[in-house]
Structure 1
Amino acid sequence: METAIVPPGPRCLVPGLQLLSFRRDPLRFLTELARAYGDAAQFRIGPQHFFLFNHPELIKEVLVTRHEHFIKGRALQRAKKLLGNGLLTSEGEFHRRQRRLMQPAFHRQRIAAYADVMASYAAALSQRWRDGEEIDVAREMMRLTLSIVGKTLFDANVESDADEVGRALADLMDLFEILMMPYSELIERFLLPSRRKFERARARLDAIIYRIIEEHRTSGVDHGDLLSMLLAARDMEGDRSGMTDEQVRDEAMTLFLAGHETTANALAWTFYLLAQHPEIEHRLLDETKAVLGDRLPRFDDVARLEYAEMVFAEAMRLYPPAWVIGRLAIRDVEIGGYLVPAGSLVLVSQYVMHRDARFFPEPERFDPERWRPELKQARPPFSYFPFGGGPRRCIGEAFAWMEGIIVLAVLIRDWHMRLIPQRRIEPLPRITLRPKDGILMRLERRR
């Protein structure tokens, strides 16, 4: 540790300027920081000391090799107000216990059973669409993935709740910037209307979740869904206890929100990119017809839809739903020879790393060919990490890949989506990377 050095970074001569720059456009701020200072950089916003690491080996150190030196960053610490002590926000032994309890729900056999749900719900959406109709594909994907996660998580039809959930999520997203700001605990005290709005949104989501938990507890029936497994789970490596209703609520809320928000954004960006690259869309369409014919995809088809996986992977490279990971150092730690003092916030950004020309030549170009097996294997781990890494890697990764590929195959076979001219479509970096103001498209049915 004595030989560790401090990485370079910008000097801010005007108080508050870096906070303003970061808040105005965090994607640009972090990208320019990496471009100017290389693999490791530091900066300050108010009292908070930040580090940005942007090399696969350094990212691996943060997320894997030295993960025990960190806890979740500021955003997810503050997200406990909504998610409680769920898998995304919990720490230490409690997190390990909860992951043990939940892991069987995501085993291959269990995930395979959800393929038919994903395909049938995507087909139902396709049947509702009309030739020539104008849609916001981002909103449509949110509704679709909400329905899918409602069925697979709760064995419940939550379509009737979709608008209510959507409004509550929009309210929560609007308040996210407040949660991220330095001194946000003090600011919150003076923003009583915002606090009340947040609490009302959380209460609306809680009412939906607790209603479904109560229905399951009362019936005592295994519905074949994830919630049934959570209610029945016992910690066989520990005290053989299960989860309380509050713990089930926290895990269910986490899966409910994370399980539809991220995949919906990934799908919306995929259709946006395909609309601008007809040659890629045509090749994807050809594969879909060759593999599926006129039937819906099944679990075994997912591995055969190789180009669909490449398209989805490339879309998540350019527009990763989780665009940054924050870790708070709980003790002094050395990362790649650089000293990170206790209390510092370390950032590793999928958005920035995925656009690094050292690993992705012509990084702004949408090119699914990057994901041919030989090219994929030639790149180092953590040059691409849309689902994080280490012991906190997303537990639902296999679920998300399967859902993305199946939905993509069903909808692209039936519909061509043409972009409607609107103001520039931009990514909005909040908890996830949403398209700002949605993505308007005109539907054209394939003949």
Structure 2
Amino acid sequence: MSVILHLFIAILSLIVLLLFDYVRKIQFYKHAAKIPGPKALPIVGNALRFIGKDSSAAHDILLDIAERYASPCRLWLGNKLFVGIYEPEQLKTLLTSPKSMEKASLCSLLRPWLGNSLLIAPVPIWRAHRKLIQPAFNPQTLRTFVHIFDKHSKSLVQKMEEELEGGEFQVGSYMISYSLNVALESTMGISETSDSKMYTRYTECVNRTMELIMVRGLRLWLHPDIIFNLTKMSKEFYKCITWMHTTAHSAYDTVAVSLQYIMLMLASYPDVQEKLYQELKHIYGKVIPENLSVATEDLKKMKYTERVIQESMRLFPTVPFLTRKVVQDLEIGGYTLPQGSTAFISVIKVHRDEKYWPDPLKFDPDRFLPEEVAKRNPNCYMPFSIGPRNCIGSTYAMMEMKTVVAKILLKYVLKKEKIQPILTIKQRVEIVAHPVEPITIEIVKRLPNTFNT
């Protein structure tokens, strides 16, 4: 049999399979056809736009689609339908409906690493686990973590002394060591380690694992385990996971990345930094920073500090895109999201939408004054998601970040020689939105009881 005949049979078989799939899911395709979105090619859909693109380029493509099309909008990757959602009321419907409570099938790519954690567990397991874990995040229990935040913040500030008078340095390694130490002690009882090689290896494994998951997610042919397990990517993926499981099993990365952006914003906006410092001076008076211990009552008084963190997380949400599996037809925005589709939530799009945030690329913590918050739809800000499957550790994370920001600002003035416009700060999306270029700042020792500019 000739090669041409083999090819003809293969093409004919593919056409028959596609026709069969269309007839079997005709209602699915009818609903999908009504949803606006970029023109899709037969068979491959819009997948060609992502072929050969790195995670930073994929991030920009997704944002471009969100800018061009109103919510909801559709995107085809092969025969898989993704529907972008980025209007507050639509987000509320999606994230509170029992028809879309399941995490998307793409999240199963995380299961070898995270197992059935709250992040990706099927609904029945998630409900049971959340009920068990919830007491650990009540106010009384959270108070017991503050001394851990304080201890490791003090250690971080001491380590940063070696950067004094040395110009700009990469802040990422310091934030990673801090947040990883906090995670290890608060979840596993492991005291601080000074093993820099362990930090480096752990961070490399986390970053590479997330990168491989992102690459696999954009290559549909690698989704089946039977194919993926034959690749070199698979060997590297499982090697990283095995090492991480022998060291720790925690998701510290979101806090570490958030802190990097917060440090950048404070260094870039000295007026904001000074206002935050004055709040801390008001709380602590003339206490020498090295002798200071942060208490729960102090954290409650850090209103402006919290607004700074909130504004940084608005502009740079650590998880800028979320997905949900639609298990029953769901009406949103006048369209039907058909059963079997995947809802794709653009957090960063709604966080930077001028309809809800005037001058959206301006860094302005006063957007989160109570009177300003009252004017906005509450669903247009979701750094920790919204609805039943929101982040259970949001209060914990805010307390942790307040503590370390306070410790750093009481001891150092943060500076940035070249202020980069927010629009040009590029991110790569590997589940968590890491900066493409490492974030660098300079620190200067803060003179006691003086105003620093």
Range into which the TM-score falls when normalised by the shorter chain: 0.7 to 0.9
Q: 1:180 aligns with which of 217, 225, 245?
A: 217
Q: 1:58 aligns with which of 90, 102, 116?
A: 90
2:170 equivalent to 1:132: no
Question: Within 5 Å, which residues of 2 pair with 1:62-141?
Answer: 62-64=94-96, 66-130=97-161, 131-133=164-166, 134-141=168-175
Aligned to 1:390, the other structure's residue is in SS state coil
Aligned to 1:434, the other structure's residue is in SS state strand
Counterpart of 2:125, as a letter, is F
Counterpart of 2:221, as a letter, is Y
Counterpart of 1:291, as a letter, is I
2:80 equivalent to 1:48: yes
Counterpart of 1:440, as a letter, is T
Give the structure 2 partner of residue 433 of structure 1.
433
Aligned to 2:36, the other structure's residue is in SS state coil
Q: Using the TM superposition, give the Cα deviation of residue 116 of structure 1 relative to its aligned residue in structure 2, in angstroms.
A: 1.7
Are the equivalent residues in 2 in contact too, given 1:332–1:340 (CA < 8 A)? yes
1:403-426 deviation digits (Å, cap 9, x = unpaired): 111111111121123336699752
Aligned to 2:50, the other structure's residue is in SS state helix
Residues 4 and 202 of structure 1: is their aligned pair in 2 closer, same or farther, counting only changes over 3 Å?
Answer: closer
1:290-344 deviation digits (Å, cap 9, x = unpaired): 1123223211111101000000000000000111110121232222321111221
Question: Within 5 Å, which residues of 2 pair with 1:8-27?
Answer: 8-12=36-40, 16-20=47-51, 25-27=57-59
Give the structure 1 partner of residue 253 of structure 2.
261
Counterpart of 1:132, as a letter, is E
For 2:104 and 2:360, locate their aligned partners in 1 and report how far apart those are by CA, in whole Å: 28
1:378-401 deviation digits (Å, cap 9, x = unpaired): 211210011111111111111011
Of 305-314 and 48-57, more deviation after overlay is shown by 48-57
2:376 equivalent to 1:379: yes
Give the structure 1 partner of residue 10 of structure 2.
none
For 2:408 and 2:56, locate their aligned partners in 1 and report how far apart those are by CA, in whole Å: 35
Give the structure 1 partner of residue 407 of structure 2.
410
Aligned to 1:43, the other structure's residue is in SS state strand
Give the structure 1 partner of residue 8 of structure 2.
none
Q: Which runs of 5+ in 2 are unaligned?
A: 1-26, 448-453
Of 287-296 and 273-282, more deviation after overlay is shown by 287-296
Give the structure 2 partner of residue 419 of structure 1.
416
1:48-85 deviation digits (Å, cap 9, x = unpaired): 21111111100001101x23344212442211111011
2:192 equivalent to 1:155: no
Question: Within 5 Å, which residues of 2 pair with 1:267-346?
Answer: 267-293=259-285, 294=287, 295-346=292-343
- Which TM-score applies when normalising by structure 2? 0.82
Counterpart of 2:186, as a letter, is T
1:60-119 deviation digits (Å, cap 9, x = unpaired): 01101x233442124422111110111111112221111111111111111111112112
Query: Percent of pairs identical after alignment?
Result: 25
Residues 167 and 304 of structure 1: is their aligned pair in 2 closer, same or farther, counting only changes over 3 Å?
Answer: same
For 1:355 and 1:87, locate their aligned partners in 2 and report how far apart those are by CA, in whole Å: 28
For 2:233 and 2:192, locate their aligned partners in 1 and report how far apart those are by CA, in whole Å: 27
Residues 155 and 22 of structure 1: is their aligned pair in 2 closer, same or farther, counting only changes over 3 Å?
Answer: closer
1:417-445 deviation digits (Å, cap 9, x = unpaired): 33366997521211111112321222211
Aligned length: 399
Counterpart of 1:268, as a letter, is Q
Aligned to 1:166, the other structure's residue is in SS state helix
Residues 63 and 397 of structure 1: is their aligned pair in 2 closer, same or farther, counting only changes over 3 Å?
Answer: same
**What is the RMSD of the two structures over their aligned residues, measured on CA atoms?**
2.5
Counterpart of 2:435, as a letter, is P
